[in-house]
Amino acid sequence: MSTMTWAKLVGQQRVKSVLAAALESRCLGHAYLFCGDRGAGTFAAALDLARALLCGGTEKVPCGSCSACRKVAHHAHPDLHIRFPISLQGRKDSSGRLTEKGWDYVKEQTVFVVENPYRRITHKSPPVHPVELTRELTHAVARGPLEAGAVVAVIDDVDLMRRESANAMLKMLEEPPPNTHIILLTEKLHTVLPTIVSRCQIVRFGALPLEQIREALSGEFGIAAAEEEVDSALESAMGSLGRALELAENPSGEGKQRGRQLWNACLDNDWLSAARVIDEAASVDGIEQREQMVLQLMFLARNEVVPEKERREKYFTEMNSTVKSNFPAEVAKAEAVIACCREAVAGLRAYGNASLVLVCLAQSMMELLHGKEYQTG
């Protein structure tokens, strides 16, 4: 019986125990749905599990040294298939199919995510799952393994699958060939088609403790930032290692600066200044800076509305609502602001109207911070 090791996944001990026990007892399901916040480790876990399933080792899997492990590390294993949504802008022909440039982009980005499971691909237009990639995947799975004893398919952001792509995948989920393992990933379980959810075992990933993220930043990623900058990244990341990594590597980005400016405008009830910041943020290509701005607002809501560090740390890591109810009103105010920020992040990631999303966020923040309804007109 082989023992499973984890090369990429940080923390998530419950997840590790469940999956390792299933693998070691040979009770691993054919389809899993990993759900958790961006950067919580869903892709890292899927990659480690895929390595273990394809590894040729006999004692510990993945061993990291066999031919299969080396091929997976370079995304050269014919029995591992990774799919994720891509931006089709400039990468499709007049009929909507991927061009040669599009296929090259897919290969390039696949290597990137395999080497960097906690980093994300940036998009300048709404990403989708091209249906031809999904169909190619179903054909590869139906073909069966070529080298290993199993076929593994990892599909990221399955919630972004349009119905045509989802339908192309359903038969694969319903009647998978022997020795097939399908791992789906999502941040938003409630938006995944019920026909997909019902065919999978759900594995939930939680927020990582601050100290665990700090250790990973300094250990695995060698982040050499000032202590204050790392603390800011940790608290803004809300338990996501991927998000903390992104913030720590760009501690003085424009997104953070705009977050501070918008926060000050909301504190001052200054709609003109808020509108100016929103116009600047909405004019930036891509969503990364806008998302960083909102994450900075979440950080400020925690640290400035609830300035006492001990109270803040206990409250924002405590899941018991009875304990939460014993805290003063400013804690509830901070949580309400953070909830609005989360909604705004979801709106930005859905590539909604950025100006409208940020205007609604600013209005909600002003109402919450000043305890009254605010009229923008």
In tens, the pLDDT along 15-51 reads 998 998 888 888 888 889 999 887 888 999 999 998 8
298: containing domain: 252-370
Residues 41 and 176 in one domain: yes
Same domain, 113 and 33: yes
Q: Do residues 54 and 162 share a domain? A: yes
SS3 string, the chain, reads CCEECCCCCCCCHHHHHHHHHHHHCCCCCCEEEEECCCCCCHHHHHHHHHHHHHCCCCCEECCCCCHHHHHHHCCCCCCEEEECCECCCCCECCCCCECHHHHHHHHHHHHHHHHCCCCCCCCCCCCECCHHHHHHHHHHHHHCCCCCCCEEEEECCHHHCCHHHHHHHHHHHHCCCCCEEEEEEECCHHHCCHHHHCCCEEEECCCCCHHHHHHHHHCCCCCCCCHHHHHHHHHHHCCCHHHHHHHHHCCCCHHHHHHHHHHHHHHCCCHHHHHHHHHHHHCCCCCHHHHHHHHHHHHHHHHHHCCCHHHHHHHHHCCCHHHHCCCCHHHHHHHHHHHHHHHHHHHHHCCCCHHHHHHHHHHHHHHHHHCCCCCCC
Residues of the chain with pLDDT > 70, as a percent, come to 83
Q: Is the pLDDT of residue 230 over 70?
A: no
- In this structure, are 197 and 270 located in the same domain? no
Residue 321 confidence class, pLDDT cut points 50, 70, 90: very low
* Residue range 78-133, pLDDT digits in tens: 889 888 887 766 677 766 677 788 778 878 888 888 888 888 777 766 777 777 78
Query: Is pLDDT larger for residue 284 or for residue 310?
Result: 284
User: Is 183's pLDDT higher than 90?
Assistant: yes
Predicted local confidence at residue 376, as pLDDT: 44
* Number of structural domains in the chain: 2
Q: What is the CATH number of the domain that holds 139?
A: 3.40.50.300
Does residue 224 belong to any structural domain of this protein?
Answer: no
- In a domain, residue 244? The reply is no
Q: Tell me: the pLDDT tens digits for 288-300?
A: 778 778 888 887 8
On whether both 188 and 59 belong to a single domain, the answer is yes
- Whole-structure pTM value: 0.77
